[in-house]
Structure 1
């Protein structure tokens, strides 16, 4: 019988070490699906695996000061945002290395961004998302949850506490905004 993710998250939020230990195994497949979606937009020549991204994100999420997990959708939404942040951080790192920067810390995803041009695209996307967030924070959240997290319209609506139609409108407007921004930048 599959364990209820929301129940485990609540127990983990209450400090249960047993719940934290079970959590990874219960959410692993879905995290891997989210990672696969995000990796589909990366250069196919990289040597980084989806498994590495899942492990890196889980470590990052567990190390955060106890987040008050609302439910499974909230958890996966946060996971998607963490994955996006990791990809952007490593893109910046690759660009810095191109410019002579030297980082000694090694992690699972050091080989994620194989070329400076790919890193620049990811950083440009992140910059465009920040502009969108300044314009309309909810639309930026819709992009994070739909594009990076692979959440459905219904799940995104639940997480943002809005109607599915509102998410559909925000999703369409956000895509138009980002397309315009990216055309100007790239």
Structure 2
């Protein structure tokens, strides 16, 4: 189910955005009238997309976007009449994916939504790849340290690596877990 959250203190604007998003293919539209409600709804319902105004009571859209991004990253499109460079920079730093200036037409919101969702997917994929690469690098460093410990005990480098591999297969553990155990025994 494709769920979107529309956040604006003006009910008519929320309705217009909601209708546009239904035409875009969203199944359910959640609504909030301020940034604080947006944060609560975003964290509990985890929508696929958030379209939010900047200037709202209680908590502005950029601060709400920042809070949401830290706890439940979601593509966010800001819909606002504010176009000064400082606001745009704050939005960028908060992780906002797109920016549409009011008053808007449906055909302006479609590309912003599409770009925000695709950009979010790309960024998320890159973050996952970076995390996987960091884990691979950590594993490699740990295995190298364990190999060095085994080499100090008289094994050759290929023998040390084969020993770590064999223990990992026999015990059904990862290379990193075996290497960590070897290092613990050394310490």
In the superposition, the TM-score normalised over structure 1's length comes to 0.29
Structure (1/2) with the larger strand percentage: 2
Higher helix share: 1
Larger Rg: 2
TM-score when normalising by structure 2 = 0.29
For CA contacts below 8 A with separation 6 or more, give which structure has more relative contact order. 1
